[in-house]
Chains A and B, each alone.
Chain A
Amino acid sequence: SAVISQKPSRDICQRGTSLTIQCQVDSQVTMMFWYRQQPGQSLTLIATANQGSEATYESGFVIDKFPISRPNLTFSTLTVSNMSPEDSSIYLCSGRVGDTEAFFGQGTRLTVV
């Protein structure tokens, strides 16, 4: 399967600041997704990153807080804006082609202090 390079792998940020996470896939994928994993919890979908257009957000997530870009079929970014301690989580990007195997980046462990 394809490989996703995600960075940074971890960061400690001050409240009120923003962090941008990048994901680069080594081959073209039709779908890219961003998930959040809060401490001790499973993964929750934030949004589907759409190439060249606005992302599709899940209930409870908004563009102002989590702006997403996807300029081409292999790259996407997620920004966590105006961070608070409640945003401390692991953020993961995922790619897939249709209903084939989904694969994930190594995750970004974010701590907001």
Chain B
Amino acid sequence: KQEVTQIPAALSVPEGENLVLNCSFTDSAIYNLQWFRQDPGKGLTSLLLIQSSQREQTSGRLNASLDKSSGRSTLYIAASQPGDSATYLCAVTDGGSNYKLTFGKGTLLTVNP
């Protein structure tokens, strides 16, 4: 059974810092990995999708990498801003899973002004 782990569980940084969020998964037979952002009490906003054949994806100040063989992904946020404060969730789609997502527990990010 796939298990997704996110480290750290919480992170507090001053505005302007670059930071890295980590995600690991136990079964490397995945279709893809997706990073989401969730604001308190709200739904999920998709940030980046990395297919299993890709190594990284970039969108603005965000860069996500994927090392499928080692079961790891990182989300790099450059020049963090208070508006980046949210919970960041990592989720994988297992091969043969009928495209269901398995989520990690998330990293709660606080960017202080």
Contact = CB atoms under 8 A, between A and B. Distances in A.
Interface residues of B, number: 23
Nearest to A100: B49
A57 B79 CA distance: 42
Interface stretch (A13-21, A64-72, A88-96): A88-96
Main secondary structure of the interface of A (DSSP, over half): strand
A103 B46 contact: yes
Main secondary structure of the interface of B (DSSP, over half): strand
Interface string B5-49: 000000000000000000000000001101010000111111001
Contacts of A42: 89, 103-106
A102 interface: yes
B85 to A, nearest CB: 17
A44 B102 CA distance: 8
Interface of A: 1, 6, 31, 33, 41-45, 48, 56, 90, 92, 94, 96, 98-107, 109
Given A31-B99, A48-B98, 20 more contacts: A6-B43, A42-B103, A42-B105, A42-B106, A43-B101, A43-B103, A44-B103, A45-B101, A48-B100, A99-B31, A99-B32, A99-B93, A101-B34, A101-B49, A102-B99, A102-B101, A104-B46, A105-B43, A107-B41, A107-B42
Interface of B: 31-32, 34, 36, 41-46, 49, 51, 89, 91, 93, 98-101, 103-106
